[in-house]
Amino acid sequence: RSSLILKDSLTAEAGYQASEDLSKYLGRTGETETVLRPAGIAVIDGERVNVVSRGEFIGKGDTVVVEKVEGVRVMVRKVDA
């Protein structure tokens, strides 16, 4: 019987990272590149970011602000003009 065992440890000290720290976007504004229904893509600080709204429809080209980051989930709301 054969079994697979991970013998190496994937630690931060060794340079391993579970995911990018997206909290850098908190409070930043950007523009939607796609329609959010409620998920889509926005450009924030010149970078394409997967984002999600609170459930509402947000059109392409609308200005949004990042109000919450939970792990890899970046939540945005539309900025009223």
Model pLDDT, residue 16: 59
Paired strand residues for 36: 58
pTM of the predicted model as reported, rounded to 2 decimal places: 0.75
For the chain, 81 residues long, the average pLDDT of each consecutive 10-residue run is: 65 62 95 97 97 96 97 93 68
In this prediction, residue 5 carries a pLDDT of: 72
pLDDT at 19: 66
User: Backbone phi, then psi, for 65, in 5-degree steps?
Assistant: -125, 140
Give, in degrees to the nearest 5, the angle at Cα 57 between 54 and 61: 110
Q: Given phi > 0 = left and psi -120 to 50 = alpha, else beta, which region is 23?
A: alpha
What pLDDT, on the 0 to 100 scale, is given for residue 36?
A: 97
